[in-house]
Amino acid sequence: MTTHHPLTRLIGSSTIALVALLALVACDHQDVVAPQETMSEQHAHAGPATISNANVVEVIARHEGEDYVFDLSDEVIPSGWTTFELDNHSSATHFAWIAKVPRGAHRGAAKAGMELLDYWIESVTNPFQAVMDGIIAGDPDAFDPFNEMPGWFSDPGPRPSGGPGFLAGHENTRTTVYLDEGTYIIECYVKDGDGQFHSATGMIALLEVDNDLGHRGSEPRASFDVVVSSDGIEAADRMRPGLHNVRVHFADQQVYGNGLGHDVHLIRLNGEDVEDVAQWLNWMLPTGLESSSRDRGPQTFLGGVQTMAAGDIGYMTVNLTPGEYAWIAEVPADVGMWKTFTVPHGTTTGRR
C-alpha cells in the first residue's frame, strides 16, 4: 500500500486547508537503558558513531548572506541503508527531510523542459511559500496557491523517507534510513525571521539512488527503541549518559491539523517548557518554526528521524550528557505528542 506524505492531504481542497489553519517502550522493569556493546565513540561531540558497511552522505547546512543552503558530499549513491550526517555550520536550527520524488514529477519536468529541481521548486516550494506569505498577512484566501499545485504531489505524492531531525546551530547528528532506487528530495522548511522557508532560499537538493552502483549497508544495531504511533511516543523514562544508537519504529501514521504526520525529534530542554517547544513546531503559525541568527528558536535540538511511512524504521545516533530531554513530534501542540526523560549523572556508555 502506498503511503503519501501527510502534507499532500492539504492539497486539493482549500476548505480542508482552511480548517487546518483555523484548527491550527517504556521499559517494564529497567529505568535506565544501556546500549549493546556494538558501538565505539568517534568524536567528543554528539552524533558520530561506528556504523559498519554503510553509505554515508554528509549534509552541510550553511548560511550565505540572506540565503540558507545545503552542500551534499554525494549526489549519486548505491541503494541500501544510508547514514546522513547533518553538520550545521550556521546558528539557526535546521533539519533534512528526505522524500522519494514520484514519477509524475519527472514527467512534469520533462514536459516543461525544466531541470527536476527547478521544476520542484516552481511546483512545490514556491506555492508553499505563497501560502505562508498569505498566512502571515492574514489573507483569508491564503491557501489558494495549493489549488494550483500539480496532481502528482497529492496522488501518489512523495514517499516520506526519514532524514535527520531538528538540529541546533553548530551541532552534528547522524540518522540512518533505508533507501531504494530512485530520486530523492532533501530539504529544510524551517523559516527565517521574515517567514521565508529555508528551502525557498536554497536549502534544497536532489539525491539519486542507483542500483547499478550496487547495494550497500547493513542495518545498524540499536541501543534502545522509541515507538511513535497515534497513541503517542513510547520510550524509557531514564537513559544512561553516553553514546546511543536509537531505533525509531513508526507503528502507524496519521495526518493532523497542520497537515503533518508522525516524526520524532530529540531536544535537550535546558529549562524550556516542552509545551512551548510544541507550539514552536507548528509551521502553520505565523511565527512557528522560525529560526535565524537573530532568533534561533528553542535550544537545543539534537536531531531525530523525520517522517516515514507506517511500518518503517529509522536510526539516530546521539551522545547524551546528564540533563532533561524530550522526544517530540512535529504535530499540533494540543495533541501532546512528546515524552520527557532524564539522563542522570553516572556511568557512561559507548566506552570500554
* Predicted local distance difference test score (pLDDT) of residue 40: 33
The mean pLDDT of 153-175, rounded to a whole number, is 95
Residue 339 near residue 232 (C-beta atoms within 8 A): yes
Residue 72 near residue 59 (C-beta atoms within 8 A): yes
pLDDT digits (tens, 9 = 90+) for 15-57: 333 333 323 322 232 333 333 333 333 333 333 334 445 689 9
- Which of residues 165 and 28 earns the better pLDDT score? 165
Of the chain, the end-to-end C-alpha distance in Å amounts to 45
* Predicted local distance difference test score (pLDDT) of residue 215: 80
* Predicted local distance difference test score (pLDDT) of residue 347: 66
* Predicted local distance difference test score (pLDDT) of residue 295: 73
Distance CA 169, CA 90 (A): 5
Share of the chain above pLDDT 70, in %: 83
Share of the chain above pLDDT 90, in %: 71
* Predicted local distance difference test score (pLDDT) of residue 262: 95
* Predicted local distance difference test score (pLDDT) of residue 216: 78
Cell numbers found for residue 212: 547499478
* Predicted local distance difference test score (pLDDT) of residue 281: 94
pLDDT digits (tens, 9 = 90+) for 215-265: 877 899 998 999 999 999 999 999 999 999 999 999 999 999 888 899 999
pLDDT digits (tens, 9 = 90+) for 102-121: 999 999 999 999 999 999 99
